[in-house]
Structure 1
Amino acid sequence: MLSLAFKRLRFIALCITTAQAVSDFDWQTLTPSPGLDWKPCYSGFQCTRLTVPLDYSAPQGSNASIAIVRLPSTAPKSEYRGPILFNPGGPGGSGVDAIVENGEAFVNTFGPGFDIVGFDPRGISYSTPIISFFNTEAERRFLIPSATNIIYPSLNQSSHALSEGWADYQLLGQLALASDVGAGHYLQHMSTDNIARDMLRITEVFGFEKLQYWGISYGSVLGATFATMFPVCGHLKLLKSKLSGCCHIHPFRSFNRLTSISQSANGTSMMADVDGSLDAFFDGCHKAGPELCPFYEPTASAISAKLDALTASVHEKPIAVVTPGSHGLIDLTFLRNVILDALFDPYDSASGFVPLAQGLAHLAKGNATALYALGAIPTFECPASASAAPAFHENNLEAYIAIACGDANPVNDTLTELQEYWLNGLRVSNFSDLLSSPRVVCSGYNIHRPGRFQGPVGAKNISFPLLLVGNTLDPGTAHAGAIQTSKAFPGSVVLTQDSVGHTSLVAPSSCKDGYFREYFVNGTLPAPGTVCPIDIELFPNSTSPDASATTKRALQTVEEKRLLNAGRKIGRVVRRAVGRRAL
């Protein structure tokens, strides 16, 4: 789910960006239609743009266009099982990109009988109208350093951090309002309930009454919303690889959490596993030893104290870093975000616990370059035409604000109430200075459609029981949320993955992937209380040819190995496409 991301540049305007996803297919060549007019695209895929009502209460009015890609089933017609829709999270993640990059891995998991379908929710990526608050790319980059590197401004950065952040988001909210007025008031229709209605329309035009769906992070929120709105819409198969955030994160985050400071218990429930995830870093580093964890100390508590001292040093005296492709400061906000990124994706060889330990060890010795590389934003030259309208492909921040904040009740807290909110969160997590930022973000957004779905989620008589998945420790969506969500959907089952990190895709598990396949292919749910081990170590042996592939146990069968490889590829593509995007 989309972590927040707005940090005003505090130096002379500089155009900066990250490399945007490169598409070898021009979506504008497709004419939107009310049916599935498939055209060849990418390599072996088919694409279409589906026309849907912008406002479902006025279906004869303006339309939206939903970009859809599929990797078609290769099974005989008699064995065709229909489409599986996939959402990679956010809100703001591109389902098209996720499937195009590695759709074959989905086939290897679920078999050839399904169409593997990715779609960009309304307002996101290739779907139109695109959610945008700016007129030019230069204007956008002046206020938002990167579309892909998501930054939580630390509310403890300085005595003015909260008031400056609040002012920043008031400005962004006013830009959103001005953009919306000039574009016909479309932003109010960029909501989770309308995306659920779009999913129903997609399912129907495929010729099916029953949705088959896999959603992770915010995607699980979307799925729970669908299941609540359309509980008997056929044989619903709703696989939630990380629905442990559903009721406690998006419906409570967007529908309840942001509505009142008095609901701080709901507001901080999502933080429940954050400090435990950091403890897993300390314990794992100590257990791994100095050869595998360069930030090692004789005890886990000593590692914790060493990090506290390093954090205090950076807070007092930020460090300037210049590299060939970037430059910036390692300050409290930067360091805390790098650590939080690692908690979200601890097994990743590029940003997880191993590179974090390496970067911290170098920083402790006075070399900041390695740690800076974990969160650096590359610079780039401004476009030749500064007035050119931006063709946003990655609009994660704007999509997050429009959908998550638009779903919620308006946030009208005073600065004092916002201060109380994040300080209250410290009772749950030391990272409240970062994770309370969503409320500050939404305090500036004032576009809300009357009558939008605001929860609660749940349905007593759903057509087919849900499979919910939760990690033992998830810094974004605490495991308790999966249990709570299961209670809201009687008959559902919670499958627990024994890992730390955000969503079950954070680590490969042939056990988990096997249950996923059984659920979709045979409609079989795991037994209540099932716990799946993962097939990777937090601090793998660095002498392995591929440390990220080091398994904790010997795989017994060809099927286990195939599922493990497919699951690893799916996790990798989703992490790259979405990253740490929402809470």
Structure 2
Amino acid sequence: MFRSFKSQAFFLLAFLKVAIAQESFDWSTVGSICSHITATLAQVPLNYSEPDGGTAAIAVIKLNATVEASQYGGPIFLNPGGPGASGISFALGVAPFLQPVFGNQFDIIGFDPRGVNNSTPKTSIFRTEEESSAWFAQDVTDLNSTKEALPEAWARYQVFGQLAQNRNDDNSLNFVSTDNVARDMLSMVEAFGEEKLQFYGASYGTALGALFSTMFPVRCLDMDGYFNNDMKFMVEDIDKAMQTFFDTCHSAGPQACAFYDSSPSQIEANLEAIYDSVRKQPIPYVSGDTFSIITYDVLRETILLALREQAHFPELAAGLKGLSTGNGTSIFQLINEMLAPPSEAGPTADDVLQLQSDMASINSTFAGTEGLQIMTYCSGWKIRPEGRFNGPVGGNTSFPLLIMSSTIAPCHTFCSAKKTSSAFPGSALLQQDSVGHTALFAAGSNCTLQHLAAYFANGTLPEEGTICPANIPPFGGVNNTTSGISPRSFPLPRLRH
């Protein structure tokens, strides 16, 4: 089934692009592409304060339920995060796997949020792909890598923010915001003839879900930090994840972990030696027409991304082993698999001195990455629509929320998940004992899948304090004898947060 579904995916994406160019579809005339998949453009107000002032077109794809009408459970909307990752591509990739988990009584809905991918308004700061590529090629992952890195990044993103203002000719950027995406979701829910939203969000998708629940509580990450661009919390668990890599590599032994050494502390020392080596002499990589240079900053970004899915630990170990002998092949392959374009967040008035103070206050060897990086990038963003949502999130929802998190969660900590859960009375927090970003995809866990299925099927919440084991530890072995879905089965977008 997956092969045929995947082949249809390419056709559907091409179909959507043609439909958008022609503006030939609206929600009331859903175009059936095959017996199980439908695609459409949902027409919504560009500005909800002025509904007659133009429209945005939201690209939507639906994997249809396969039950009788009397058993129909309604639509479940998906958002993969990013912000700005394609919900269309995400749904085409994961819906065939998720529908058996949720139940085939549900439609699975993927959509591209307004302003990105296949949806309109089309927004771009740069005039050409070449201009965009040249800009992002200069981005630095670790703003603590040199004394110049943070001030230079700050200056670059003042330019970025000014470009956005200068090139916002039609004011479309004023209406590309998370609160408007939440309003779009409500419009689509109502277009389905439903009153309440059923939603699964990962990464930034949890912020979107929390915002929807705050704005429309009867319709129903440290969210307040996200909406106020105070994301220092994002690195709190990264050192824990790094230590878990050292510990589990050692305990797994040399057969399972290529970067094995006599103790976790020695493995850490070996990594520090590689850092020092690539700082002094970056490693060139050439294979046919493919070429790259593995610098300290590229290596740091690769490690950060690998820590988001513990299934990547063996590949990271192999790549580091190669680098220790000057061979960049394995690490380049991992880089090529995981790198993703940067994401956006809310505006701030931080200057260089404030950002340097923020970075100094973070007790982490990764202090100059992730949250601080995003805060710096957003420091120059001056487009601030009137009435933009700035938090706080929380409220009494008509049905309790299920919030899931890994025990060690780079980018969005377990502590943040607990804070979000406390903001929504009656919600349940499901802890998955794994390392990684987003519980469902960080590591396979039958226990997590079973609780997720029970929640969507009949509203059952896990008991307080429930902890689900991962099926497979980072370097192999078995935690759970029941076969299940591996996170590597899901063709996920590589997300920044």
TM range, normalised to the smaller chain?
Answer: over 0.9
Alignment partners' CA distance in 1, 2:238 and 2:88: 30
Cα offsets for 1:383-433 (capped at 9, x unmatched): xxxxxxxxxxx9954xx33xx23xx4xx233322222222222x2x11012
Instruction: Give the CA RMSD over aligned residues.
Output: 2.2
Structure 2: gaps (5+ residues) = 1-9
Matched ranges for 1:180-579 at <5 A: 180=168, 182=169, 184-233=170-219, 236=220, 245=221, 248=222, 250-255=223-228, 257=230, 267-347=231-311, 352-376=312-336, 397=342, 400-401=343-344, 404-405=345-346, 408=347, 411-425=348-362, 427=363, 429-435=364-370, 436-459=372-395, 461-504=396-439, 505-540=441-476, 551-555=478-482, 561=483, 564-565=484-485, 568=487, 572-574=490-492, 577=493, 579=494
Alignment partners' CA distance in 2, 1:35 and 1:361: 53
Alignment partners' CA distance in 1, 2:165 and 2:474: 45
State the Cα distance separating 1:479 from its structure 2 match.
Answer: 0.3
Alignment partners' CA distance in 2, 1:479 and 1:152: 27
Alignment partners' CA distance in 2, 1:65 and 1:396: 23
Alignment partners' CA distance in 2, 1:573 and 1:366: 31
Q: Is the 8 A contact 1:362 1:370 kept in 2?
A: yes
Cα offsets for 1:445-464 (capped at 9, x unmatched): 111101111110000x3100
- Residue type of the alignment partner of 1:356: L
Matched with 1:544 is none
State the Cα distance separating 1:101 from its structure 2 match.
Answer: 2.2
- Residue type of the alignment partner of 1:153: T
State the Cα distance separating 1:145 from its structure 2 match.
Answer: 3.9
Matched with 1:6 is none
- Residue type of the alignment partner of 1:216: A
Matched with 2:495 is 580
- Residue type of the alignment partner of 1:419: Q
Any idea what SS the aligned residue of 1:328 has? strand
- Residue type of the alignment partner of 1:359: G
- Residue type of the alignment partner of 2:272: D
Cα offsets for 1:229-252 (capped at 9, x unmatched): 01112xx2xxxxxxxx1xx1x431
Any idea what SS the aligned residue of 1:117 has? strand
Alignment partners' CA distance in 2, 1:360 and 1:142: 28
Q: Is the 8 A contact 2:406 2:442 kept in 1?
A: no
- Residue type of the alignment partner of 1:25: F
Matched with 1:71 is 63
TM-score scaled by structure 1?
A: 0.79
Matched ranges for 1:9-88 at <5 A: 23-29=13-19, 31=23, 35-41=27-33, 44-88=36-80
State the Cα distance separating 1:358 from its structure 2 match.
Answer: 0.8
Any idea what SS the aligned residue of 1:25 has? helix
Cα offsets for 1:41-75 (capped at 9, x unmatched): 37841001011111111111021000110011111
* Count of residues paired in the alignment: 483
Q: Is the 8 A contact 2:351 2:379 kept in 1?
A: no
Q: Is the 8 A contact 1:92 1:396 kept in 2?
A: no
Q: Residues 498 and 325 (structure 1 numbering): CA distance in 2 closer, same or farther, change over 3 Å?
A: farther
% same residue:
39
State the Cα distance separating 1:581 from its structure 2 match.
Answer: 1.9
State the Cα distance separating 1:323 from its structure 2 match.
Answer: 2.5
Cα offsets for 1:456-510 (capped at 9, x unmatched): 0000x31000111111000111101111111111101101001001001211111
Alignment partners' CA distance in 2, 1:278 and 1:206: 45
Alignment partners' CA distance in 1, 2:458 and 2:137: 46
Q: Residues 44 and 325 (structure 1 numbering): CA distance in 2 closer, same or farther, change over 3 Å?
A: farther
Q: Residues 372 and 482 (structure 1 numbering): CA distance in 2 closer, same or farther, change over 3 Å?
A: same
Q: Is the 8 A contact 2:158 2:379 kept in 1?
A: yes
Q: Residues 315 and 492 (structure 1 numbering): CA distance in 2 closer, same or farther, change over 3 Å?
A: same
Matched with 2:5 is none
TM-score scaled by structure 2?
A: 0.92
Alignment partners' CA distance in 2, 1:287 and 1:513: 28
Alignment partners' CA distance in 2, 1:32 and 1:66: 13
Q: Give the structure, 1 or 2, with the largest relative contact order (CA under 8 Å, sep 6 or more).
A: 1
State the Cα distance separating 1:34 from its structure 2 match.
Answer: 5.5
Q: Is the 8 A contact 1:193 1:452 kept in 2?
A: yes
Q: Is the 8 A contact 1:24 1:42 kept in 2?
A: no
Q: Is the 8 A contact 2:40 2:61 kept in 1?
A: yes
Q: Does residue 30 of structure 2 align to residue 95 of structure 1?
A: no
Any idea what SS the aligned residue of 1:270 has? helix
Cα offsets for 1:484-540 (capped at 9, x unmatched): 111111101101001001001211111111111111111111111111111112112
Any idea what SS the aligned residue of 2:475 has? coil
- Residue type of the alignment partner of 2:114: R
Structure 1: gaps (5+ residues) = 1-20, 237-244, 258-266, 379-393, 542-550, 556-560
